Structure 1
């Protein structure tokens, strides 16, 4: 009597097993699709320290294409400087930590904005970290040899930390940021990590943000695939962009304008980016959907009026385009007027429409 039941049970488990296999496969497909949908900026944020409060992103491959330059590993430092001047004129260098170091990097270290795919510069109270994407055809052995020639202290392991103190960096052909004093090469991932603190760099895998859903990640995701961007935590945005940095007259005027606009709520995340179409995207993350809807209206009014603390008006700098509220996220699209450097101008305070 049990055999039929057992046979039936086996068939049942075969069916259940098949169904589970399909479900697992479907979940795997969903995971891959979601992972593939993440932008390079979102992928890079996973590697940044969780203590970071400010992130600067530059898609160097896209910036080179935008400028129309043809640089390579064989280009000179002077040619790289010329490229950066053109990128600066297009307001595409405000997020990089490498602008003053680029020529010496190219001539002495074997990598620079001329060859890097992208750069993420993460800063926070615990330390700062550069995360640099190498091109697919990067010659990592040649890079290591250039570091030896630059008199970096070589680690015992290939994935260890190379180190050069301030004195050795000063011996290079030009100025180099202390952020390049300690370098780690992840050959398999095609990434160079760098910091001014070798101890902090050595801990970077242990202190990484990982794949988290937070206001920083949501603000970054709203930017699409920008050429250059800054992303702030809410606390950093509310300090960096606050009207408290303005003089007393501008603070008073700002408070009046905010009240007239209906008030604003504290930000939990902030981002501003230069997009390939020439526009600037601003992303603001609030605590609740209701706050986001209210702030979409009030911040739109503020962005269309005077700019106390900055001087003049916001419409002199940009045309305000579409403003949307989606859940806790507010996005604002801005079109710079006559090449106005909107990102350079408005990623340090006071910025009335980004006030908390």
Structure 2
């Protein structure tokens, strides 16, 4: 025979359950509200994304001491981008070559937007742009229409352009600018070279579709960098591995890896230029044990020869620390003056990032 719980106990249990639910919701809200701009942008990327390229343009301007108004001259835009290139702060952008025409015709450019995240995968690519709070999206829509883009029936639909339209607008426009989508409530613009893929990306950006989650750990670890390259584990293991090296370099790499104690496959990768000038490398693993083991082995590899790249990693940077926090390993690199660590070491083979 079932016994009923006392009414006071039932009420108490119900109240406790409500408190638990409220606490969980509160924690989720706190995490949402305290996300970095990078994490917020990555949360908009489609689930099929394999490679992310981040530029905090507002942070880059601050770092360089550059102050520009909302409509800078093309010469000012060019000078700013030249300075950013010299500091290795613009290698992740898809808009640099298009900047002059963007500034003149579209009325925005890397010199005026807040940030940019290029999300690429086997199915397509989308460039997600964070615009300043005071952006007039109605005026931006009018500009696109005046340039020849077809206005969508839905205000959050796709503005259709195409390669012929870009050619008429001006020179050196990246194909990713063929189609636009405006999301005023989120303060972002999405662009892509493929109309259908942009429609899919819109679903992810607005929360109606799946989005990328496999890089969440390394994105959180990266913090608020000025520029970064973020890869899924599968992409990193294919494109940063030593398989692309020649036979001699592969043989040397095998010996170095064995001597360092071996490595585990990574599940996520982020290399980032931080505001203090350091470059951080965050690698996530399936287990905490794998991370602890790889903190030592990858530190050894990052302080020695660089087969496939030439010379030694010490020619490019000083490894100042290697730590494991949970399932994430962080390497902190202090670049040698004149070395372009981020742009040079985000394409393989990179021994200390190999699988």
What TM-score bracket applies, with the shorter chain setting the length? over 0.9
> 1:106 is matched with which residue?
103
| Cross-structure match for 1:350 | 349
State the distance in 2 between where 1:186 and 1:175 align: 25
Aligned partner of 1:195 in structure 2 is 192
User: 1:137-156 counterparts in 2 under 5 A?
Assistant: 137-156=134-153
Shift of 1:233: 0.8
| CA RMSD in angstroms, aligned pairs only | 2.0
TM-score normalised according to structure 1 size: 0.92
Please list every run of at least 4 consecutive aligned residues from structure 1 whose deviation after the TM superposition is greater than 4 angstroms. Answer: 11-24, 207-213
Q: Give the deviation of 1:76 after TM superposition.
A: 2.1
Deviations along 1:218-270, one digit per CA (max 9) or x if unpaired, are 11111011111010011111111121222222222111111111111211111
**Aligned-pair CA distance for 1:15:** 5.8
**1:55 touches 1:122 (CA, 8 Å); kept in 2?**
yes
Q: Deviations over 1:257-297 (max 9, x none)?
A: 11111111211111100001110110111222222122111
Cα distance between partner residues in 2 of 1:332 and 1:223: 11
Gaps of 5+ in 1: 1-7
Aligned counterpart, 2:127: 130
2:170 corresponds to 1:169: no
Say if 1:46 and 1:210, in contact at 8 Å, map to a contact too. Answer: no
Corresponding position: 1:90 with 2:90: no
Equivalent residues in 2 for 1:16-27 (5 A)?
19=16, 21-27=18-24
8 Å contact from structure 1 (residues 107, 173) kept in 2: no
The offset of 1:55, in angstroms, is: 0.4
Pair 1:277-2:256 in alignment: no
Residue of structure 1 in register with 2:328 after alignment = 329
Q: Distance in 2 between matches of 1:46 and 1:346?
A: 25
Question: Pairwise mapping of residues 153-302 of structure 1 onto structure 2 (< 5 A)?
Answer: 153-207=150-204, 214=214, 216-302=215-301
> Would the alpha carbon gap of residues 78 and 292 (structure 1) be closer, same or farther in structure 2, given more than 3 Å must change?
same
How many residue pairs are counted as aligned between the two chains?
Answer: 348
Stretches of structure 2 that go unaligned for 5 or more consecutive residues are 1-5
Q: CA 1:16–1:256 in structure 2 vs 1: closer, same or farther (change >3 Å)?
A: closer
1:77 Cα offset (Å): 2.5
- Residue 16 to residue 298, structure 1, CA distance change in 2 (3 Å): closer
Residue equivalent to 1:320: 319
Indicate conservation of the 8 Å contact 1:166/1:178, yes or no: yes
In the TM superposition, residue 197 of structure 1 has moved relative to its aligned partner by: 0.4
Take 1:182 and 1:332, find their aligned partners in 2: how far apart are those partners? 38
- d(CA) in 1 for partners of 2:166, 2:74: 16
The secondary structure found in structure 2 opposite 1:315 is helix
Tell me, in whole angstroms, the C-alpha distance in 2 between the residues paired with 1:169 and 1:206: 25
User: Mean alpha-carbon deviation: is it higher for 88-97 or for 150-159?
Assistant: 150-159
Contact 2:48 2:212 in 1 (8 A): no
Shift of 1:159: 1.5
CA pair 263-25 structure 1, distance change in 2 beyond 3 A: closer
Aligned to 2:3: none
Distance verdict in 2 for CA 1:141–1:303, change over 3 Å:
same
